[in-house]
Structure 1
């Protein structure tokens, strides 16, 4: 199959023209999104070039410590973004989110590398761990933010109902069981929807990128299957851990809703 077509600076400059067209369309329709589109365009270019440069260094160095440091930085940023989206003042929330995303990602990476890839050298190869870990963290970040926000808002709005259950003898976990399940469902609905229509409505980024780079379509499809299931497991593990942790922080030692 053909190799990947290399894009030079002129090609990228022409590609930026598509963003310029979008800005022009926004101005024509008086949508008021011109500055946001312009800022988003600049940030996309800068962020991806910076990330590409960092990855080039990590891939060239090919050292486990560099790879681990990069993954930890990515995990911390994901946790901060997810925490900020929840807009909740809960003690230790950042650590809880960090742990939930980290455990979900680590558990899935362990499963993939030991049971699926079964190649010991992949643990020190950034070609596998960095892309896989990044995709898992990014999706777990969104899932955790949605689940956490749903759970916090539900408990706040249903405070009277929860206290009524407690007065009737329910345990704290029983009193918030419905809201906990709803939160996990909300956090994982996106990946479930994607799995239902993958390949029918859209071609996901991984399979598209591999096809563009000349990979055999069946091999690309196989890796996309691996990615989808990896994201699903990471999202479920991360959201369940986060919601369970949040549920324990809503009550004091006397099982009273705080």
Structure 2
């Protein structure tokens, strides 16, 4: 129940940053965040941590919350960047289309830029982890008396989980958003 509430809030926040005028944006954001969070958290819990009860709240709630917070930011940044880039580049995109490019080809550069922008917070965190500050999960484990090497290995696992979930979400959201800007005849339509 708690994770569903967190998912709903993350969807609303990301959707509001992207824009409400785009059709089906709520379902697109919800589906992308749900799929990537479920896949990354399930993989981590079932195959790596391997607790006796896979749905144990001890693992499910903190890992789910960490991933949801990160993918919400990545989704909002990537989605907003793509929407504004397409909206501001109408003539260039229509020129590509008139020269025979497919809709996906005409927005590929904008999509790449949006994905890169959506991954910036996660990659920045990975680059300076342990140098600028200790992550909160690792700090909590160290304060509770867990071995530093064990705490560091959990933090590495979480960072890899975050990168995967954020990458998957930004790929899905930008793909879905790019499709919303074209009709069945491959004509650009800006909502």
TM-score, reference length from structure 2: 0.96
Structure 1 equivalent of residue 43 of structure 2:
111
Paired residues in the alignment total 189
Contact 1:85/1:145 (8 A) holds in 2: yes
How far residue 243 of structure 1 moved from its aligned partner, in angstroms, is: 0.4
For 2:108 and 2:182, the matched residues in 1 are separated by: 14
1:129-168 aligned at under 5 Å gives the runs 129-168=60-99
Structure label with greater radius of gyration = 1
- Measured against aligned partners, the alpha-carbon deviations of 1:10-67 in whole angstroms (never above 9, x if no partner) come to xxxxxxxxxxxxxxxxxxxxxxxxxxxxxxxxxxxxxxxxxxxxxxxxxxxxxxxxxx
Q: Distance in 1 between matches of 2:40 and 2:59?
A: 13
Q: Deviations over 1:83-114 (max 9, x none)?
A: 11123411111111111111110110122123
TM-superposed CA distance for 1:118, in Å, is 2.6
Pair 1:229-2:157 in alignment: no
Does residue 178 in structure 1 map to residue 109 in structure 2? yes
How far the C-alpha of 1:115 sits from its partner, in A, is: 2.1
Cα shift at 1:131: 0.3
Work out the CA distance in 2 between the residues paired with 1:93 and 1:246.
7
Contact persistence 1:113–1:120 (CA under 8 A): no
Question: Using a 3 Å threshold, how does the CA distance of structure 1 residues 162 and 120 change in structure 2: closer, same or farther?
Answer: farther
The answer to whether the Cα contact below 8 Å between 1:82 and 1:142 also exists between their aligned partners in 2 is yes
**Does the alignment pair 1:77 with 2:1?**
no
For CA contacts below 8 A with separation 6 or more, give which structure has more relative contact order.
2
Q: Distance in 1 between matches of 2:4 and 2:159?
A: 22
Is the Cα contact below 8 Å between 1:88 and 1:152 reproduced in 2?
A: no
Question: Which runs of 5 or more structure 1 residues have no equivalent in the other structure?
Answer: 1-68
After superposition, the C-alpha distances for 1:204-245 in whole angstroms (9 at most, x for unaligned) are: 111111112222211111111111111111100111000000
Cα RMSD, aligned residues only: 1.0
